[in-house]
Amino acid sequence: MMALLVRVIFVLVVVPGAAFFAFNAHQIQIDTNLNDLNPDKVSDPSLQFALDSLTENVSQRFVVAITSAAEKRTKEAAKALQDSIGALPELRVVLEGEVQSGYFSALTPYRFNLLSSAQREALASGNVQQIAEEAQRKLYQLGNGVRLLPFNDDPLGWYSDYLLSGLDNIASPVGDETPASVATFTVQFTTYPVSLSEQEFLYQQIRQAEEQIEAQYEVRVMHSGMFFFAVDSAQSAKSDIQLIAVGSAAGVLILMLLVFRSLLPLLLSLTSIAIGVGFGVLASIAVFGSVHILTIVFGASLIGIVVDYSLHYFYHFLSQNNEQQRGDEKAGTLFRAMLLSVLTSLVGYGALSLSDLTILKKIALFSCSGLVMAWLSVIILGPLVVRRPIQARQTLLSGIIGVLQQFFARRPSWLAVGGILLAVGCGTFVFMGNTAVNDDPRRFFHVSATLLEQEKNVASLTQVYEPGRYLLVRGQTPQDIFDALTSLYSVLGEDKQGLSSILDWLPSPEEQQANYALQASLYTSGGALDAFSQKLGLPASSLDGVKAQYLASEGNIIRFTDLMEQLPSLPPLWIANGGGLYSFALVKKNSNLVSIEKASENVPGVTYVNTLGNASHALKLQREAGTRLLVLAYTLIGLLLVFYYRKISAVLLLLVPAVASLIAVAMVSVMGQALTVFHVMALFLVLGLGMDYIVFAKEMTAKRQTTQQAILLSAVTSLLSFGLLAFSSMPIVQAFGSIILIGNTINFIAAISLFNGDEVKREGDNYV
């Protein structure tokens, strides 16, 4: 009854899943977000929303720089490139002066609330005659009376003076050695491309426009932004996927045809692979809404594990052909071995979910769900396939095993002792601190040298902001935010010029009200405006319109959220969500970082954030925590072995993957790889795969040669898929593959050499 229920559930899951892929495969979202490698997690949802908003805003814009030997040619090229990029529907060019003009338009209705520090000091003196004389002098003095509003709206020119004094604060900083023949502009995404194909297509359009401008105007075009890093990483991952998937699938195909000389075993293997990988994709979409590109890279290596179940099933089914009277007993033994095998593999992959890295959680979900469904597919569909006689070509496999055993298994005790001694030496080498470590997330990917050079050059030309460094300001009310920033600026002194915050754009609501009250001495009867009109010989009533505008503006406060709505190109310096209120102060390049960090420590509500430093520290903690979790995984599997075999000595089986792990870590370190959290997580799979081989070698003793041949094929497919990871261009993938390639090779040698036994070979062990 239970078996029937499992079959029904299996069909109810597989059929809709197949239908989904048949009709919606093109809608599956492939995620390339590099933030999944960031281990920083915030318990406060409002704060996390604020941080995500800032990160998303930064990722959805990029900077373009054009340089040449002639300034005129540079400007013409910049204008042409702006037109080309602006014509793309996904992009919007932020034109030079757009922010300033938008800022001017947004603030004009609130101009009576705005004063510079010099203007406040002048008003505090109370000398309206002096203010009127100064306004008159600026009105007639050439070059010193710039007015951004008509005379009738701003006769004293105070609003124009306020804006002109603040433009330097909101203008994008430039490098100290920026050449005259350089033009830069910012591009924003109106619609960020979701799929890999859309990203690749947009990237090619951008590059085509840049190359055309370079050829036409003889200039150099460079760009800087997270979008280009994401596309570059996706391209590397795409090539890895093709290498791993095609290599693994081709290897499985050739092996199955060579060994079984039948399409039925091949059909079941391919079906289990398709069901396993497909269900992993569905689980990822259901939980995370998309499938990450790195999940697919690692998931492609599942082919080598998934096919193991069908290989063991077929090989051990062969041993029943001539012994039908013992079929039920053998079937039960095979089921127990396969169950224990999948459980140990699930422990290895499942342990990845204990990490705080989102990408490892995604890999764990993809892999565990895929393994379970692949295993079920073999258990449920296998009996349908083996109804017809299956033969296997075992002579070649037996010869290979014989050669290996002749070399490694002649003295198993010597091999075991030698392996343990070598592991002790490797462990000493590792734990004595002779291995280099890497917790810098920037070194997890292989990025093209051209892209890195462009990023560096654009940064030196624009000198905009320090990447990944900012100040986080928290408060209960808007005034709390402004007060904290004001205190910070006071502590910093001249170093405050290194920050860009809401103070550069707007005064606080309280200060706006105070500014309005101060300007009463300008626009009320007998004030500076009346004195100014008398000096100009104008009728007293000629400027009554300005006075009326002033009176009508009482209580009319502009808030930063209003400014953000009118200036979408602004970074999200102000975030309100779920009762939380947050603001960000960006750090300009070449600022005094030490002074800013020290000042932030003395102002309540202000936190200095170094995302790279925090990420590196968090990844270090993840690497250390992963090591502890690995010990826990060994402990859990040890308890499982003791419970299953009812012997304490069963724990000694764990020595095989433990020895393999220590040797693998030492070898990759000697080869020049710095250990990362991904090396540590790969050790979980060395444990799972090692126990996989050991379980079958120990459980399926009735037909030992058959078992060893199945283990050989299983190891070949696993080493093929994971071995291809070791040759990836991406360091994190390479780390995974290198550890598993070395560790699993040792696991395989130990499985066929240490569990050989002295049982008498029974007739029927070899089938032709």
| 227-244 average pLDDT score | 76
What distance in Å separates the CA atoms of residue 291 and residue 57, rounded to the nearest whole number? 22
Residue 121, in any domain of the structure: no
Q: How confident is the model at residue 210 (pLDDT cuts 50, 70, 90)?
A: very high
Q: Which residues contact 40 (CB under 8 A, 6 or more apart)?
A: 611, 614, 615, 618
Residue 358 lies in a domain: yes
Report helix, strand or coil for 744. helix
d(CA 8, CA 392): 32
Residue 479 belongs to some domain of the structure: no
Nearest to 656 by CA among 670, 640, 637, 642: 637
> Using CA atoms, how far apart are residues 240 and 242, in angstroms rounded to an integer?
5
Closest CA to 272 of 385, 373, 386, 388: 373
Angle at 540 between CA 538 and CA 546, to 5 degrees: 95
Contact criterion met (CB below 8 Å) for 340 and 644: yes
- Whole-number pLDDT of residue 512: 92
Classify residue 391 as left (phi > 0), alpha (psi -120 to 50) or beta. beta
H helices present in 326-466, as ranges: 327-350, 358-385, 395-408, 412-429, 449-462
The confidence score (pLDDT) of residue 402 equals 80
Q: Sign of torsion, CA 755 756 761 766?
A: positive
* Domains contained in the chain, number: 1
Question: What pLDDT, on a 0 to 100 scale, did the predictor assign at position 511?
Answer: 92
Taking the alpha carbons of 678, 679, 680, 681 in that order, is the dihedral positive or negative? positive
Q: What confidence score (pLDDT) does residue 761 get? A: 40
Of 168-172, 286-290, 313-317, 442-446, which gets the smallest average pLDDT?
168-172
Question: 435-453 burial string, b = 16+ CB within 10 Å, else e?
Answer: bebbbebeebbbbeeebee
With 0-12 / 13-18 / 19 or more C-beta atoms within 10 angstroms meaning exposed / middle / buried, residue 25 is exposed
Stronger pLDDT, 299 or 746, i.e. the higher one: 746
- DSSP summary character for residue 761: P
Instruction: Dump pLDDT digits (tens) for 403-423.
Output: 887 778 777 888 888 889 998
- The 10 Å Cβ neighbour count of residue 393 is 14
Q: What is the pLDDT of residue 762?
A: 38
DSSP state of 301: T
Give burial (CB, 10 Å; 0-12/13-18/19+) of 500. buried
236 — pLDDT class (breaks 50, 70, 90): confident
Residue 500 lies in a domain: no
pLDDT at 330 over 60: no
Q: Residue written as tokens 């099933």?
A: 313
Q: Using CB atoms within 10 A of its CB, is residue 10 exposed (0-12), middle (13-18) or buried (19+)? A: middle
Q: How far is CA 197 from CA 202, 203, 246, 265, in A?
A: 9, 10, 20, 35
Q: Which pLDDT score, from 0 to 100, does residue 103 have?
A: 84
pLDDT greater than 70 at residue 384 = yes
Confidence of residue 320 (pLDDT cuts 50, 70, 90): low
Give the whole-angstrom CA distance, residue 768 versus residue 553. 97
Q: Is 206 a member of any domain?
A: no
Is 707:696 a contact under the CB 8 Å cutoff? Answer: yes
510 is a domain residue: no
Q: State the CB neighbour count (10 A cutoff) for residue 516.
A: 21
Average pLDDT score over residue span 308-325 = 61
pLDDT at 113: 92
Cα separation, 4 vs 65, in Å, equals 66
pLDDT score recorded for residue 3: 65
Most confident of the following: 45-49, 142-146, 533-537 = 533-537
On the 0-12 / 13-18 / 19+ scale of CB atoms within 10 A, 513 is middle
HSE value, Cβ hemisphere, 13 Å, CA-based, for 361? 12
Task: State the DSSP string of 667-691.
Answer: HHHHTTPPB-HHHHHHHHHHHHHHH
Query: Mean per-residue pLDDT for 41-62?
Result: 76
Residue 519 above 60 pLDDT? yes
- Which amino acid is residue 670, in one-letter code? V
pLDDT at 325 over 60: no
**Whole-number percent of the chain with pLDDT over 70:** 84
Q: Which residues, listed in sequence order, are joined to residue 586 by a DSSP beta bridge?
A: 470, 500
CA dihedral (662, 664, 670, 673) positive or negative:
negative
Q: 214 vs 64, 65, 81, 114, 451, CA distance in Å?
A: 13, 12, 10, 45, 17
Distance between CA atoms of 741 and 244, rounded to whole angstroms?
14
Q: What pLDDT sits at residue 481?
A: 92
pLDDT number for residue 172: 54
pLDDT at residue 179 in the model:
52
d(CA 263, CA 399) in angstroms, rounded, equals 24
Instruction: Confirm if 373 and 276 have CB atoms less than 8 A apart.
Output: yes
pTM above 0.85, yes or no: no
Where in 99-198 does DSSP place strands (E)?
182-189
Q: How many whole angstroms separate alpha carbon 445 and alpha carbon 231?
A: 12
Angle between helices 704-725 and 677-699 (to 10 degrees): 170
Task: Give bridge partners of residue 606 from the DSSP assignment.
Answer: 473
Question: Which residues lie across from 291 on neighbouring strands?
Answer: 30
Q: How confident is the model at residue 177 (pLDDT cuts 50, 70, 90)?
A: very low
Q: What is the pLDDT of residues 448-466, one digit of tens each?
A: 778 878 877 887 777 567 7
Range of the domain at 704: 230-444+647-754
Q: Residue 388: what pLDDT?
A: 66
Q: What pLDDT was estimated at residue 664?
A: 93
Cβ atoms of 397 and 259 closer than 8 Å: yes
Residue 120 lies in a domain: no
Sequence letter at residue 458: V
Residue 369 has pLDDT above 50, yes or no: yes
77 and 183 Cβ atoms separated by less than 8 Å: yes
Q: 558 in helix, strand or coil?
A: coil
Per-residue pLDDT at 145 exceeds 60 = no
Distance CA 43, CA 45 (A): 6
Specify if 20 maps to a domain: no
| CA 528 to chain centroid | 59
When pLDDT is cut at 50, 70 and 90, the band that residue 663 belongs to is: very high
Q: Mean of the pLDDT values across residues 634-645?
A: 85
Lowest mean pLDDT among 599-613, 715-729, 747-761: 747-761
The position carrying tokens 């013992």 is 326
Q: Among 440-449, 606-615, 726-735, name the one with the lowest average pLDDT.
A: 440-449
